[in-house]
Chain A
Amino acid sequence: MKLILKFNLAFLVVFLIGLAVSGYVARDLLQYNAQQEVLDTAGLMIEKADAVRSYTSKQVAPLLQTQMKYTFLPQSVPSFAAIEVLKGFSEKHPEFTFKAAMLNPTNPRDRALDWEADLVNHFKQNPDAKQVIGQRDTPSGRSLYIARPIRLPSAACLQCHSTPSAAPETMVEKYGPANGFGWAMNDTLGVQVVSVPLALPLARADKAWWTVMGMLTGVFLVIGLTLNLMLWKLVIQPVTRLSALADRVSMGEMEAPEFTAPARDEIGVLSDSFSRMRKSLQHAMKLLEG
């Protein structure tokens, strides 16, 4: 087996093992990072919803207070404002879905589904819990979600959600006296949930993984080619020439040209040694002939 073949076989084995190990490690790492990135974005969405909620409650609602006496304006409702603002975000990122799921909502649209109600109850039982991250199966595939509790932040909210008699007439007129009342300060009323299909972070991770693996393979190939070229030029080619010269000298062809090594490396030292040996052989031959 030729030296270059042995070298390349060894290189290929190392390359494959290295690629497999790094591919496995990179896949896990990239999937974790992609999930974290998606969850960070989802968390930012919830924080944005909180900010809109607070802004609406503190600054917009008081300005619309008079208009609310004539006609109900959902724009003054913090949750409505948050959902509307995040609709704009969802138009650009349709994979992210936001919902403010309530156990006893004013608008029936916001009523919590079973799994969301479970989350609300989890936060009720664990008042110190800040968020829950999980996965669940949906008809369109596995989904990743982040959920944070909704608690009544200020007593001002009770104006609309304590009793029907205290609420604006226009609100009761629109939604009736049965829904969205009896809320209490600091009680867990619902959850804000941002869901993302799990395929999204996995697709992102896959894309990054293929890029990493492609680059890794490219680097290995370049290294392999370079090493092959250097091995050929610096070792195999001079050794082959030296070997051919040695063959000629051994066959008595003393007038064969001298071998000149291109560099003062190990091959150069070998070349010098061969030249000395050739001279010694010539000298010994002359002594025998004489």
Chain B
Amino acid sequence: MKRLTAWIWAAALSLSVCSGAAASGRDLVVATITIVDGGPATVIHAASKLSSLEGASISNEDIIETSSTTSVLRLEFNGGLTLDVGPSSRVMVKPGPAAGEAPVAYLLDGWAKLSVSQSLAGKAVLTSPALDVTAVDRDLVLHVKGGESELFAESGGVQVQVLGKHGKASPTNSSTKVDRGNFMARHQDGTVDVSSRPGQAFVQSVPRAFMDTLPSRLTLFTGKDIHLEPAGRLSYEDTQAWLNAEPRIRTRFLSRWKPLLQDEAFRRALTAQLSLHPEWHPILYPPKPHANEAVKP
């Protein structure tokens, strides 16, 4: 009974959050999931947890989380751009305003392969905690694990901005060009190595599906109205990695996941870990109005 109540509550919350987000005009369909191979993957849309489905549309700021058994999840964007997400990965799609030049994705953790049909240059194309890709000619593979990042310029050159702490450009590491076939590693201590070829350890660990030349499947889903299915309540554990992310990412969740505070379990867990994300303090404990303001009629 308790579980049923929790589900009903989660569904109602999801509905209210979705409708609220839609009403605000924030949602913009930016991509389609065209391949989900292997184990399941989850989509966090606004404050709802949904199961990924091939053919479903993905909006800006949606979060994709793959399981360890997911072989690959492919997102195809309009204009011939694809993003393959490997196993055990967390990606936010188009982390930025609906209008304007948001990066294609933010890779918080795991594997991502970006393929573009024409050279993209200018603002950040693919961002991550330790480095931002600012230009890409064809294909690149980015791996983020803890404080380390690895980037392989599979075909075509890649321009990279190495970041320091808090997601700010490092004063010592300016923009770096990684030529076709070259490999760049950004280590835990902030040092950067660029080598002419990736090492065997990297080659062995690259998701197998990234090495296949897969054709576009976007046309298969054109005109089909496929919706993501609810996958239960969005818990604190589901959001924890993002709540603890670097400031430029985590601050956007203050308003997005504020409705989740109505969930007692989420609120309790968030309060318990408040030291990790203190920016939530004013929301959890809003300042009380002044006494003289309170007595005013």
Chain A interface residues toward B at CB < 8 A = 62-63, 65-67, 69-71, 169-170, 173
Contact = CB atoms under 8 A, between A and B. Distances in A.
Contact of B203 (A62, A63, A65, A71): A71
A169 B210 CA distance: 18
A62 B197 contact: no
A173 B212 contact: no
A69 B211 CA distance: 8
B181 A69 contact: yes
Contacts of A62: 213
B211 A66 contact: yes
12 contacts: A62-B213, A63-B212, A63-B213, A65-B213, A66-B139, A66-B210, A66-B211, A70-B198, A71-B203, A169-B197, A170-B197, A173-B197
A169 B154 contact: no
Contacts of A71: 203
B196 interface: yes
Which residue, of B155, B180, B211, has the highest number of chain A Cβ atoms within 10 A?
B211
B206 interface: yes
Nearest to A63: B213
Contact of B212 (A66, A169, A170): A66
A70 B180 CA distance: 12
A62 B214 CA distance: 11
Contacts of B210: 66
B154 A66 contact: yes
B181 A67 contact: no
A71 B154 CA distance: 11
A67 B197 contact: no
A70 B196 contact: no
State the majority secondary structure of interface residues on B.
Answer: loop
Interface string B148-184: 0000001100000000000000000000000011000
A69 B213 contact: no
Contacts of A65: 213
A65 B212 CA distance: 8
B196 A69 contact: no
B154 A69 contact: yes
Contacts of B155: 69
Nearest to B198: A70
Nearest to A68: B211
Interface string B200-242: 0001001000111100000000000000000000000000000
A178 B196 CA distance: 18
Contact of A67 (B139, B196, B198, B211): B211
Nearest to A69: B154
A173 B195 CA distance: 13
Contacts of B197: 169-170, 173
Contacts of B203: 70-71
Contacts of A63: 212-213
B211 A169 contact: no
A173 B212 CA distance: 21
A18 B211 CA distance: 72
A159 to B, nearest CB: 13
A247 to B, nearest CB: 106
Nearest to A170: B197
Contacts of A66: 139, 154, 210-213
A79 to B, nearest CB: 22
B212 A67 contact: yes
Contacts of A67: 211-212
Nearest to B153: A69
Nearest to A64: B213
Given A69-B155, A69-B181, 8 more contacts: A63-B212, A66-B139, A66-B212, A67-B211, A67-B212, A70-B206, A70-B211, A169-B181
B202 to A, nearest CB: 9
A144 B1 CA distance: 87
A170 B198 CA distance: 10
B182 to A, nearest CB: 9
Nearest to A169: B181
Nearest to B208: A67
A169 B195 CA distance: 13
The 9 closest A-B pairs by CB, nearest first: A169-B181, A67-B211, A66-B213, A70-B203, A69-B154, A66-B211, A71-B203, A63-B213, A70-B211
Nearest to A168: B181
Nearest to B210: A66
A149 B99 CA distance: 61
A171 to B, nearest CB: 11
Nearest to A71: B203
A173 B198 CA distance: 11
Which residue, of B180, B210, B213, has the highest number of chain A Cβ atoms within 10 A?
B213
A77 B70 CA distance: 31
B227 to A, nearest CB: 32
B204 to A, nearest CB: 9
A96 B181 CA distance: 41
A68 to B, nearest CB: 9
A30 B181 CA distance: 60
Contacts of B211: 66-67, 70
Contacts of B154: 66, 69-70
A101 to B, nearest CB: 31
